[in-house]
Chain A
Amino acid sequence: MKDQLARLNARLDAIGKRLDEKELRIPVDLVTGVLFALFALVIFQVMPDQVVVSEKDVVNGRAFPTLLMALMLLCCVMLIGKELYKLATRQPLAWKTINLLVEVKALIILLILAGTYFLSRLTGLFVVGGVFCCLGFLLYFRCRKPSYYVITVALAVGIWAAFRFVLGVNF
């Protein structure tokens, strides 16, 4: 068992090392500008469907979101313009390095969180999700101390019981 675990860890380490070496560089301000400009345009597009207005309104329900999206668009244009100017004058752009290992690890954490959520929701028992969450994170951290498993699961059950029976939260 121990050998198998050690082998598994070694394999994971090897994969991790490979991923750690892979990096992606993005022109962060340019990407932000383009992404949020598109977002603002999408909001403009869905506004008529999503915000019903009445002719009686002095200032209707679309005014404020329209103002916000116009401001967002303006900011995006400034951000993009700034970066394009830098590009034209051969100044260095703002770059952001994305490490693949970090993103994969974040994805695993996200899966643990999503698993916790779906298990709680589907079973209707929060404690089931809670126990899954504990085990998920302990495995993620490659924890080998049995006491940690016991303490964490006990705490999860305790928290659930406190919410359920002391505070009367029905889950």
Chain B
Amino acid sequence: MKKRVLSLGLVLALLTAALAGCAGKQNASWKVTCPWAPSGVAAMVSQQAATKSTSYSDTITLVAEAIKGDAATVNTWVADTKANDTQLVFVGEGLLSITSILDPDKLQFGYEDFVFVENLYSSIFVLSADAKLNISSIADLEEYVKQGDEISVAVNGAVGSEAFLAASLFGAMGAGSQLKLTPYQSAAEAAQAVARGETQFAVSHQSQILETYQQGGVTVVCAFDEKAIENGPFAGVEGVGSKGYPYFRNRCFIMARAGTDEKKVAELKELYGKILADKEVADWLHDTMLLEVDTMSVADVEAHIDNVKSIVNQYKDIVAG
């Protein structure tokens, strides 16, 4: 009996060792960690890219993972990875340009801890207004602001990109003191708030306001971009940049750990490039998610981070008080 128990124990130990050994053999698998909600835009795009990766590469398989937690998830990622680990992470302007200024203690990393791989998409936020206000252009908005009444804007999160876009637009119009930002737990909630008249305006991704817009609950006033939106259901909506107001697009960069072999990074960038050139992916991004494919260089990334940082520095008093 004793022998039987011993041999069984041995078999189990071997099995454990073998299973543990298997874990280290996934050289071609790159885990892409998205630190936001699994139902969010970035997580969905990452998942779509992962699904396509096997069609375009024999050596790299992307494995998408979404662990909600924002800075905490990226802190852990940075602490647990080293150069050349087969791990990638999403980092956006929220962390690199907003949290780094408003709450730097929250971040245990900096831009220098990463090496940029690729940016997959950019999203143009839009400002929507309660349909009863009858505001459908920047000129209407400027007129409305001149009346000097309180301006309430529903945003997703208290100090997110949406809050800063609202603050920069109304701040630049000279109405920073009239502005009241009302934070909601999600973009969908913020969109609904403006539709039922709880706030006058909302800032959201285009896809998040689409249904409310189609049902006539809101009008879409302007887009936070240089020029007017060219395609999709919001084609023709003016860009705030054309009137000289500040703006930025929402972008999420895929990063590897700093020090990762340049060749590997280039290989990953090439793979992402092929995936984004896939018509099915591009159409899906464009038609369903209302996003734009937006590959970038390191210089573009740094310019984007700096642009958002300057907006945050200028308008942080309106947002954070």
Contacts and interface: CB of A to CB of B under 8 A. Distances in A.
Nearest to B5: A146
A161 interface: yes
Contacts of A154: 8, 12
B205 to A, nearest CB: 26
Given A146-B1, A165-B19, A153 B321 contact: no
Interface string A132-171: 0000000000000010011001100100010011000000
Interface string B19-54: 110110000000000000000000000000000000
Contacts, number: 27
Interface size class of A (residues with CB under 8 A): 10 to 19
Contacts of B12: 153-154, 157
Contact of A150 (B5, B23, B321): B5
B321 A164 contact: no
A164 B19 contact: yes
A55 interface: yes
A35 interface: no
B16 interface: yes
Contacts of B8: 150, 154
Contacts of A161: 19
B5 A57 contact: no
Contacts of A146: 1-2, 5
A153 B15 CA distance: 12
A78 interface: no
B20 A125 contact: yes
Contacts of A125: 20
A56 B15 contact: no
Contact of A54 (B19, B20, B22, B320): B320
Contacts of A157: 12, 15-16
A166 B273 CA distance: 31
7 contacts: A54-B321, A56-B321, A125-B20, A146-B2, A157-B12, A157-B15, A161-B19
Interface of B: 1-2, 5, 8-9, 12, 15-16, 19-20, 22-23, 320-321
Interface of A: 54-57, 125, 127, 146, 149-150, 153-154, 157, 161, 164-165
